[in-house]
Amino acid sequence: MLKVLLWGLLLLPLGSAAQDSAQVERLRQQINTGGGAPASSALEQLWRELQQLPASHLIELSRREDNNYFEQGWFELARDVRLAPAEQRQSQLNAWRLRWFHHPATAWLPHLQQAVPSLAVPETVQRLGALLPLSGEFAEQGREVLAGMRAALDWDRRQGYRVPQLQVFDSAAVDNLPVFVQSLVGTEGPDLLVGPLRAPLTRQLTSAQPLPVLALNRVGGGTFNGYQLDLASDQELRQLVERIRLDGHRRVLLLAPAGEAWVEPLLAWLEPLSRSQGLVIQARLRYEAVPERLRWQLGQVLGINASRQRGQQLAGLLAEPPEQQVRRRQDIDAVLLIARPEAARLIKPVLNYHHADELPVYAGSHLFSGKVDPVRDRDLEGILFCDMPWRLRKRPGSTPSSSFFALGVDAGSVYRALPEMGAGTPGYFEGETGHLRLLEGWRLQRALPCARFVQGQPQLIKPAE
């Protein structure tokens, strides 16, 4: 677990379930009560309510055809702010303003655009707070993060570093995060609070806090003045799309599972990311991971079914059946795949069967279980994906491959680098979730290594030039 500071010398969201129809109706009433001129206090309350919704629900609401003008504008604004990476948030707000320049939500834009400097992390952190779900629905993930933090602190201690006292709090017992953070301020409170991990709490981080916070999930935005280290997949997808472009491909077939809510934010991120890299998503398929159905769906989107049908029609017109050569469509030069391991092991062989074996396949890290399994993964041959170093590094013994453990390892050590990062010192922190940089704003950017399956095992490849 080597940690290196070099200074100029990746839904997983843990969101709550979609709100019920009664809550949505209350939200609609709030939007429509103020009409075209809501009071400033109503704007703040409405924005807080919108930020309590999971990203997948915001996407769903923004697509409904029964929204009126006021509702549609608010839903799109909340969706765009939630999904936009930090460096693209301003451009997303500008694009929203062009579409909705008469909408009452324009009065709330200054609150979203206001730049607030991060609250400085002290040079020496004597007490490190960990606010994690240690009971309830997400206790397993919270304990993995905590185990990772303790492992990082123990490593630093054995290397001779002076490590802070770890103060642990169970976020399952916290409902109002700002009130809880305020209660920690004092001589015996933490110098830096790591967490929360639960999305309903991180979405409450919409205002300046009285002590530095390193949030471990997507925050609510607004005037939050802390830092964010998260496992959201937009950073992974950005690198994957850039890799496709640098490899010389431009016309992409996008494959994503049907009827699975976790994939919706990824698809929303992919559209602007692809456009920014000059890629065209030439065709889309929401596949069903059932062999017979999948074979037909891929045959349809690749043009194989149509080619075979044309051959059969021609054979019916000729006295002697011609020699038939089935051809796939030629306007696609790469495949971008979002799939869990079981589905990916079905899809790649079917692509090969449908004469698409020469098409390069790029995939999200979801297709890798984190455990090397050359027998089961032999059907993933040739697929390229990007993932965190912790999961790609070969390690002896039974070291956990959990992404949350790796998140804890970084959270338990990157605090030492935050003062330099906040000061704009060039360089990066060599973390287990990626090479971490604070390029701008408050979100730590993760640069990830990429690998390709060779004989059923992921092999690291050189960074794209």
**pLDDT value of position 442:** 80
Q: How far is CA 211 from CA 145, 323, 408, 415, in A?
A: 21, 75, 20, 14
Residue 17 — very low, low, confident or very high, per pLDDT cuts 50/70/90?
Answer: very low
Residue 93 — very low, low, confident or very high, per pLDDT cuts 50/70/90?
Answer: confident
- Length of the chain as a residue count: 465
What CA–CA distance (Å, rounded) separates 379 from 460? 18
HSE at residue 53, side-chain half, CA atoms within 13 A, is 29
Q: How far is CA 430 from CA 12, 154, 414, in A?
A: 21, 18, 9
Q: Hey, which bits of 79-186 come out as E strands?
A: 127-132, 165-170
Residues 436 and 214: beta-carbon distance below 8 Å: no
Average of per-residue pLDDT across 347-358: 93
**Looking at the whole model, is its pTM more than 0.85?**
no
How many other CB atoms are found less than 10 A from the CB of residue 325? 8
Q: What are phi and psi of 451, to 5 degrees?
A: -140, 160
Is residue 200 reached through a cis peptide bond, with omega within 30 degrees of 0 on the bond before it? no
Whether CATH 3.40.50.970 fits 234-316+323-363? no
Residue 204 — very low, low, confident or very high, per pLDDT cuts 50/70/90?
Answer: confident
- Does residue 336 register a pLDDT over 70? yes
What CA–CA distance (Å, rounded) separates 156 from 207? 33
| Each residue's pLDDT tens digit, 237-249 | 999 999 999 999 9
Residue 5 — very low, low, confident or very high, per pLDDT cuts 50/70/90?
Answer: very low
* Of 23-32, 53-62, 318-327, the least confident: 318-327
CATH 3.40.50.2300 intervals, the chain: 234-316+323-363
Residue 94 — very low, low, confident or very high, per pLDDT cuts 50/70/90?
Answer: confident
What CA–CA distance (Å, rounded) separates 46 from 203? 14
| Each residue's pLDDT tens digit, 313-332 | 555 566 566 566 678 889 99
- In order, the DSSP letters of 142-161 are HHHHHHHHHHHHHHHHHTT-
Q: How far is CA 30 from CA 22, 38, 39, 117, 123, in A?
A: 13, 10, 11, 32, 45
Q: What are phi and psi of 95, to 5 degrees?
A: -65, -40
* Of 290-294, 298-302, 427-431, 432-436, the least confident: 427-431
Average of per-residue pLDDT across 34-51: 75
Residues 185 and 178: beta-carbon distance below 8 Å: no
**pLDDT value of position 18:** 39
HSE at residue 116, side-chain half, CA atoms within 13 A, is 19
- Does residue 37 register a pLDDT over 90? no
- Does residue 264 register a pLDDT over 80? yes
Identify which of 185, 158, 200, 292 has the alpha carbon closest to the alpha carbon of residue 14.
Answer: 200
Task: State the pairing for strand pair 450-454/457-460.
Answer: antiparallel
**pLDDT value of position 244:** 96
| Six-digit token string for 242 | 């850039």
What CA–CA distance (Å, rounded) separates 114 from 112? 6
What CA–CA distance (Å, rounded) separates 196 from 142? 9
pLDDT > 90 in the chain, percent: 49
Identify which of 24, 52, 43 has the alpha carbon closest to the alpha carbon of residue 105.
Answer: 43
Average model confidence (pLDDT) across the chain:
85
| Six-digit token string for 410 | 């970084």
Q: What are phi and psi of 130, to 5 degrees?
A: -125, 110
- Does residue 11 register a pLDDT over 80? no
